[in-house]
Amino acid sequence: MVTRSSFLLSITRIFTWTFLLGLAVVVLYPLLWMVLNGFKENAELFGNPFALPVAWNWENYVDAWNRGVDNYLMTSVLVTITSTVATVFISAWAAFGLTRVNIPFSRTIVTLILGGLMLAPTVALVPLVKLFQSLGLYNTFWALLILYTAFRIPFTTFLIRAYMIDLPREVDEAAEVDGASKATTFWKIILPMCKPIIVSTVILHVLFAWNEYLFAMVFTSGTEMQTLPVGLTSLMSKHGTDYPVVFAGMAIAALPVVLLFFAGQRYFIKGLADGVGK
């Protein structure tokens, strides 16, 4: 005999699965549509954009790669990796100092770091352009590295600090008794314990740096330093009628981030849940 509680539980599960499936369709369908349209001809794309390709035209992907996507991809990979390493390392070290070391005015420092979250990048564009031009860093790799690192440190520090706060103090005391320095405690004890939030911050920064458009457009010029978002825009403006090639380039740009997220999704969810929830 079916009880009222079991009936309500079944209804709840049905609605939950329906919602999750609908959400999956909303998220995955645009990606699938983009990838499939990258195999079509231009006339086929406009004639029936929602149908499967009549022939799998891999030449569109090769053409997109040869039109500069390879250079844009390498630039994005280099900027993303270096800025991620710099941001996460500086933020983790700052979070360690603010939570595990007794330093004067720590609360004031935390307030200043969190105040950086309220600084809109667009407000500082003009003075930053003048500054980087005077320093000879405009249209260089270092410009994007410094900007991506500086503007993401407050948010990344906030997340890692929230995770470190509730780590047991006993491990620090045990390390101190064994004669470990603060640096050794950070590298060999605290940092491994923060693996979930570190993975989460890495993924979040990669998503930011990989898709960032404003800084990449303003502080770079020429194909040598353009990242994928800016490069794909120029590809579309130069070859605006060849939309399958544009879709192919967009699919190539999205693939690394999608693979990274699926590889680290377990730690990503755990890190955010433990860090932000504390």
198 in a domain, yes or no?
A: yes
Is 109 contained in some domain?
yes
| Closest by CA position to 75, among listed 235, 209, 262 | 209
Vertex 141: Cα angle to 135 and 143 (nearest 5): 45
16 in a structural domain: no
pLDDT at 277: 47
- 56 domain residue, yes or no: no
Helix (H) or strand (E) holding 75: helix 70-100
- For position 255, which CATH number holds? 1.10.3720.10
Residue 22 lies in a domain: no
Residue 250 lies in a domain: yes
Domain count, the chain: 1
Whether 263 maps to a domain, the answer reads: yes
pLDDT at 83: 95
Residue-level pLDDT at 91: 93
Residue 132 CA: distances (Å) to CA of 58, 123, 169, 181, 189: 42, 16, 43, 38, 39
Query: Within a 13 Å sphere around the CA of 106, how many CA atoms are in the beta-carbon half?
Result: 12
CA 148 to each of CA 117, 214, 246: distance values in angstroms, whole numbers, following the listed order: 13, 11, 26
pLDDT in tens, 147-190: 999 999 988 998 898 888 888 888 888 888 888 888 888 888 88
Q: What is the pLDDT of residue 80?
A: 94
Question: What is the end-to-end Cα distance of the chain in Å, rounded?
Answer: 43
Separation of alpha carbons 26 and 28, rounded Å: 6
pTM of the complete model beyond 0.85: no
Low-confidence ranges of the chain (pLDDT < 70): 1-4, 7, 222-223, 236-241, 265, 267-278
- The 10 Å Cβ neighbour count of residue 110 is 17
**Alpha carbon 118 to chain centroid, angstroms:** 19
Is 29 a domain residue?
no
Helix, strand, coil tally for the chain in percent (to 5): 80, 0, 20
Domain that holds residue 128: 62-276
CA-CA distance, 109 to 102, in Å (whole number)? 12
